[in-house]
Amino acid sequence: MRVTVVGAGVVGLTVAHELAAAGHAVRVLADADAQASTSGAAAALWFPHGVPHTPQVLASAAATYRRLVDLARDPATGVRVRAGTVLSRRPDPDRSWTSAVPEHRVLGPGEAPAGASGVRCTVPLAVTGTYLAWLQEQVRRRGVALERRAVGSLAEVEGADAVVVAGGVRSPALLGDDRTTVPVRGQVARLANPGLTEWVTDDDNPDGLTYVVPRDGDVVCGGTGDVGAWDRSVDPAVEDAVLRRVRALVPALADRPVLSRAVGLRPGRPDVRLEPVEGHGRPVVACYGHGGAGFTLSWGDAGRVVRLLEGA
């Protein structure tokens, strides 16, 4: 099949990779590359954040976990496997995600901050600059054409037997049948790494969403999750608050300078949309709405897209 993928974020590129690997002739259309999209702003830690933990999501997360761990064997991919801690402040935390993680253990008394419980586990993460560039190169090597262009409507997409819509938060504008997708704005500051390797997430921190994800030379510090906010400019007051929270959680970050900053719009949705969409005159598959888990679900969902199209 000649398949056009709209979107060159982590989802679109991974879908293009798997379609090309399955022998299809693939083209990607996008008006921004991965690094300039939401994907470039991500902490890119494996964790199904901001999506319901349905059996399908957990299966995709597990498949992606395995693929990323495999990729981490080559450091040039930008994928690292690191230990860290998922903190929770709820009396009955959802730990269904641990089914996908071979190495994990619940923290004992006194191991978590006061008022929190936690799970220590080992998961993959992607150094986004390196990983997204690597992924783009792999896609090119498989013969995929990457074209920089805005797509105003699916009718404009010529020369394709099938289309995959992987446009993140802007996907509904192309499909016209979804009023449930909203931006969930996330702002991060990347601090010079004082030598940390362990990550920590504290989603229910009473002062606000807090996470610390050390990569190679820097540490991604977040975060925010502002539902309905489209503004992609960095807010200095938000950054100050984020830095206060992460420094309280990880004192080693106290005097580390900010190396860079980013804002991304997570594609928020009640559930990931991965399904055929009728009414466009040819097979169209929607693959978006990955919330805070686009990296976490990418390989598993890309495999599903291939199976859906081949069954169409």
Ligand X SMILES: Cc1cc2nc3c(=O)[nH]c(=O)nc-3n(C[C@H](O)[C@H](O)[C@H](O)COP(=O)(O)OP(=O)(O)OC[C@H]3O[C@@H](n4cnc5c(N)ncnc54)[C@H](O)[C@@H]3O)c2cc1C
| Binding-site residue positions | 38-39, 43-45, 151, 211, 266, 291-296
Mask of contacts with ligand X, 187-206, x by CB under 6 A?
A: -x------------------
Within 220-279, the residues that bind ligand X by CB under 6 A are: 222-223, 264, 266-267
Binding residues for D-dopa: 211, 266, 292
Closest approach, Cβ 221 to ligand X, in A, equals 10
Closest approach, Cβ 90 to ligand X, in A, equals 20
How many whole angstroms separate alpha carbon 17 and alpha carbon 136? 9
Q: Which stretch binds ligand X (CB under 6 A): 100-108, 167-175, 230-238, 268-276?
A: 167-175
Q: Does 284 bind ligand X (CB under 6 A)?
A: no
How many whole angstroms separate alpha carbon 119 and alpha carbon 155? 48
Q: Which stretch binds ligand X (CB under 6 A): 3-11, 96-104, 131-139, 246-254?
A: 3-11
Closest approach, Cβ 227 to ligand X, in A, equals 12
Sign of the torsion angle spanned by Cα atoms 254, 207, 188, 287: positive
Alpha-carbon distances, residue 255 vs 104, 188, 189, 235 (angstroms) = 31, 17, 14, 20
How many whole angstroms separate alpha carbon 32 and alpha carbon 81? 29
Q: Which one among 20, 43, 87, 238 touches ligand X, defined by CB under 6 A?
A: 43
Q: Does 10 bind ligand X (CB under 6 A)?
A: yes
Closest approach, Cβ 42 to ligand X, in A, equals 3
Binding residues for FAD: 38-39, 43-45, 151, 291-296
Count the neighbouring beta carbons within 10 Å of the beta carbon of residue 140.
14
How many whole angstroms separate alpha carbon 5 and alpha carbon 162? 9
Size, binding site for ligand X by CB under 6 A:
42
Closer by beta carbon to ligand X, 5 or else 255 = 5
Report the DSSP beta bridge partners of residue 276. Answer: 285
Q: Which one among 123, 127, 151, 162 touches ligand X, defined by CB under 6 A?
A: 151
Which residues fall within 8 angstroms of residue 185, CB to CB, at 6 or more apart?
224, 225, 226, 229, 230, 231, 232, 263, 264, 265, 266
Closer by beta carbon to ligand X, 108 or else 152 = 152
Q: Does 87 bind ligand X (CB under 6 A)?
A: no
Alpha-carbon distances, residue 22 vs 61, 183, 212, 302 (angstroms) = 21, 32, 37, 11
Amino acid sitting at position 79: V
Per-residue DSSP letter, 256: P
Q: Does 78 bind ligand X (CB under 6 A)?
A: no
Q: Does 39 bind ligand X (CB under 6 A)?
A: yes
Strand 273-276 vs strand 145-148: parallel, antiparallel, or unpaired? unpaired
Q: Which stretch binds ligand X (CB under 6 A): 90-98, 129-137, 248-256, 289-297?
A: 289-297
Note whether 157 and 187 are within 8 A (CB).
Answer: no
Closer by beta carbon to ligand X, 115 or else 270 = 270
The tokens 């801690």 sit on which residue? 85
Closest approach, Cβ 143 to ligand X, in A, equals 19
- Positions in the binding site for ligand X (CB under 6 A): 6-12, 29-32, 37-39, 41-45, 47, 150-151, 166-168, 170, 174, 186, 188, 222-223, 264, 266-267, 288, 290-296
